[in-house]
Chains A and B, each alone.
Chain A
Amino acid sequence: KQEVTQIPAALSVPEGENLVLNCSFTDSAIYNLQWFRQDPGKGLTSLLLIQSSQREQTSGRLNASLDKSSGRSTLYIAASQPGDSATYLCAVHGGNNRKLIWGLGTSLAVNP
């Protein structure tokens, strides 16, 4: 049974810092992995999707990597800004069952 864990659960950093959010999963047979952002009381915004055959994806100040063999993904945020404050969620797509398995998220606060 696939399980997704995100560490740390919460993070508070000063503006301008580079930071790494971690996501680990127990079953390496994944179809893809997605990183999402959720603002308080709001829905989810997809940030990056990494296919199982890919090693990383980049969008602006965000870079996500995937290491299937070790069951890990990291989301790197460069030069963090207060507007980056949100909860970041990692979700693994198992393929055949067509459903996402979610971590509980990392709550990020970037302080001015």
Chain B
Amino acid sequence: KAGVTQTPRYLIKTRGQQVTLSCSPISGHRSVSWYQQTPGQGLQFLFEYFSETQRNKGNFPGRFSGRQFSNSRSEMNVSTLELGDSALYLCASSFDELEQYFGPGTRLTVT
């Protein structure tokens, strides 16, 4: 079974631009969660989607948004990028809401 895939793996954007990251969960997994990882803050929860509905949301500004499609693939969007948005963005999928399986991440650099 293929693992969680994320595209693109690396991205460089300038301040003010917007970006869309994609995550394909493990086949059969309907829950997808997104996390931001920075050296100073560690891993922080962004949001979780299940069957195309956002079930939970972390404490991030409205510039961070996401969605999930009927095939469980998920995208997250960050608008009006700031330097502080530079981070590793990790996606995780889950079948039974117990164990999460992570993708390799998208490394976003904002200049």
Q: Give A contacts to B, CB under 8 Å.
A: 31-32, 34, 36, 41-46, 49, 51, 89, 91, 93, 97-105
Interface residues on B, range: 20 to 34
Q: List 6 A-B contacts (CB under 8 A).
A: A43-B104, A44-B102, A91-B43, A99-B33, A100-B100, A102-B42
Q: Which of B42, B55, B105 contacts A105 (CB 8 A)?
A: B42
Q: How far is the CB of A101 from chain B (nearest CB, A)?
A: 8
Q: Which of B45, B88, B101, B103 contacts A100 (CB 8 A)?
A: B45
Contact B48 A43 (CB under 8 A): no
- The listed residue with most A CB atoms (<10 A of its CB), out of B43, B44, B101, is B43
Contact B58 A99 (CB under 8 A): yes
Contacts of A32 in B (CB 8 A): 98
Does any Cβ of A come within 8 Å of B79's Cβ?
Answer: no
Contacts of A97 in B (CB 8 A): 56
